[in-house]
Each structure stands twice: as C-alpha cells, then as structure tokens.
Amino acid sequence: QSVLTQPPSASGTPGQRVTISCSGSSSNIGTNPVNWYQHIPGTAPKLLMYNNDQRPSGVPDRFSGSRSGTSASLAIRGLQSEDEADYYCAAWDDSLPDYVFGTGTKVTVL
Amino acid sequence: QVQLQESGPGLVKPSETLSLTCTVSGGSISRYYWSWIRQPAGKGLEWIGRIYTTGSTNYSPSLKSRVTMSVDTSKNQFSLNLSSVTAADTAVYYCARAVFSNNWFGYEYYFDSWGQGTLVTVSS
C-alpha cells in the first residue's frame, strides 16, 4: 500500500503545462529527497528526477521538480506526445524503513 | 553503461518459492545497493528490498517474512527468493541499481538503472 499520494490522472494538449502532485509525511518527503520515475508500460521505468529537482543526463529541461514540506511536485512544460506515460514519485521512508513509491499518475496527451 | 537482466521461471505454483536472478553487465556490482521492485498488473510499483555488495539487506516490512536476497560478486549477480507465493505475487519483477548517500538534506536513494522486467505468474 503506497504511502505517497498522487492524483490518478492528468492530461493536457501538446504544448501545455501539466503538474503532478505527491503528498507524503514527515518520515519520507518531509525528511528525505524525492525522486520521480517515468514508466511507459512494457518498458523499464526511467529515472526522471532525483534529489527533488535534479535531472539526470538526457532528461529534457521541460521537466522540473520541487519539494515543499511533506509534498512534492513534477511539472512538464511544453507537453509532448512522447510524455504520455505513468509517473511515480518516491522517497526513502525513515519510519519503516522502506523505499516508498507514490500511487502513480497516468499522463495523457489529448 | 551498466545493464541489468532478470532471469528465472515465468510460472510458479502457489505455496512454492519464486526465485529470480539479476545479472549486471557493463559495470561493477561493488559500492551500490541492488534492489528488487515489482508491479502487479494494473497496479503501481512496490519496493521489495535491497542488498549491498557486503550482503547486508533491508526488506519491505510487508514482505519481510517471505523474502531473502543474496549477492554473488564473482558473477556480478544478485538474487531474490520469495517463499509461500500466492496469486497476489503475480507481477512484473524488476531489478535495479540504487545510488545512495546520507547528506545534510536527507537520505539520498534512487534507482538510476533498471532491468527490462520479467513477468512471474503464480498459478497451478
């Protein structure tokens, strides 16, 4: 059972900005940095953002991340058709200890 | 560029043990944590646990009683055993490499490389 809560879906037309929220608690997001993964079904998940706002090499700067308190968000600027995927936030949880994923958000490009 | 590849039976009978191996190529297995993650059909990602190259392990509390992980540094492989499986354990299983560090801003831990995943079905 996921302890990080995300909206189940988000959508936008090409070129729009989409934001995905991730809500946690003091033992995970409130204490440790947040990561984001992009998952296209049938393929391996891909690291999209680490340490709240750091993009791995090769990830377009259209993607940005932020964290505030016990919540985090991922923004996609200039939405493109290839951004259609499932997005998961994740963080280490000190209370269990455990690595916890968000519930996942399916992004649809209309 | 490190590559990971899962291998093992695609079908396991209920109450038996699921066994998977992840082979790491293109890089050393040393100085990283190595994890297993799974995704049941239609559901989200679930962390199963991790093993360091020394053999030190941490398991998800929800699976801890049934999980065992091991590592073979000579073969650049690590393995997962999940005992007493039921249909609820049917999922795509991924292995992944974790980067980690304890910093002033918290415990940095994320997966920078993943295997392609392997579907394991639990059925008689």
CA-to-CA separations, A30 to A52, B105, B110, in angstroms, rounded: 11, 10, 16
Q: B111 contacts in A (CB within 8 Å)?
A: 35, 37, 45, 47
Joined together, the tokens standing for residue B117 give 């995943």
CA-to-CA separations, B110 to B16, B20, B47, B63, B64, in angstroms, rounded: 31, 22, 12, 20, 21
> Does the pLDDT at position B55 exceed 80?
yes
Query: What angle (nearest 5°) sits at the alpha carbon of residue B122, between those of residues B119 and B124?
Result: 135
pLDDT band at B49 (very low <50, low <70, confident <90, very high): very high
Please give, rounded to a whole number of angstroms, the shortest distance from the CA of B73 to a CA of chain A.
24
Q: B112 contacts in A (CB within 8 Å)?
A: 47, 50, 56
Nearest CA in chain B to A48: B112
Q: A100 contacts in B (CB within 8 Å)?
A: 47
In this complex, do A96 and B109 lie within 8 Å of one another by their Cβ atoms? no
In this complex, do B45 and A101 lie within 8 Å of one another by their Cβ atoms? yes
Across B83-97, average pLDDT: 98
Joined together, the tokens standing for residue B103 give 């910093």
Find which of A34, A99, A101, A103 to mutate to test the B interface (most B CBs within 10 Å of its CB). Answer: A99
Question: DSSP assignment, residue B6?
Answer: E
Strand runs (DSSP E) across chain B, as ranges? Answer: 3-7, 11-12, 18-25, 33-39, 46-52, 57-59, 67-72, 77-82, 91-103, 106-114, 118-122
The closest CB to that of B106, out of A32, A56, A100, belongs to: A32
Q: A43 contacts in B (CB within 8 Å)?
A: 116
Predicted local distance difference test score (pLDDT) of residue B105: 82
pLDDT tens for each residue of A6-29: 999 999 999 999 999 999 999 999
DSSP lists the bridge partners of residue A88 as A37
> Number of CB pairs < 8 Å for A and B?
69
pLDDT tens for each residue of B5-18: 999 999 999 999 99
In this complex, do A92 and B107 lie within 8 Å of one another by their Cβ atoms? yes
Give the integer Cα–Cα distance in Å for B115 and B95.
Answer: 5
In this complex, do B114 and A97 lie within 8 Å of one another by their Cβ atoms? no
Query: Across chain A, what does the average pLDDT equal?
Result: 96
pLDDT tens for each residue of A78-107: 999 999 999 999 999 998 789 999 999 999
Tell me the residue type at B85.
V
In this complex, do B45 and A32 lie within 8 Å of one another by their Cβ atoms? no
The closest CB to that of B58, out of A46, A50, A97, belongs to: A97
pLDDT band at B31 (very low <50, low <70, confident <90, very high): confident
Give the integer Cα–Cα distance in Å for B83 and B95.
Answer: 18
Coil, helix or strand for B28? Answer: coil
